[in-house]
Amino acid sequence: MAEVACVTCGQTGEAIATPLFLGKLEAEIKAKVCTGCWKKWEGMRVMVINEYQVNLGDESGRELVRKQMKAFLKLGEQTDSSKIAENYRPPNV
């Protein structure tokens, strides 16, 4: 199996072999993130969608999930994830 130096956990791990269907981001993720950290993100993604009540049918919802993913995987983008840890519920607008 191929290995990758993971920027998320800082260790060498198994490279992601399955398709991610993420367009331009897929190559960067496969080059920098190990399978174990990707699996952790998949679990965290569900929490992000639920806590922020994300509508994935809306581009702004998909962008929020993308930003959270980049921050979680340490791919250069920083976001405030404290709302997730505090069981945040956005105000009804």
How confident is the model over 44-58, as pLDDT tens digits?
999 999 999 999 999
pLDDT of residue 39: 96
**Calpha distance 49→33 (Å, rounded):** 21
**Calpha distance 69→1 (Å, rounded):** 25
pLDDT of residue 93: 46
Under 8 Å between Cβ of 68 and 47 = no
Instruction: Please give the model's pTM, rounded to 2 decimal places.
Output: 0.79
**CATH assignment, 3-85:** 1.10.3880.10
Domain ranges for the chain, please list them.
3-85
Average pLDDT over residues 27-33: 95
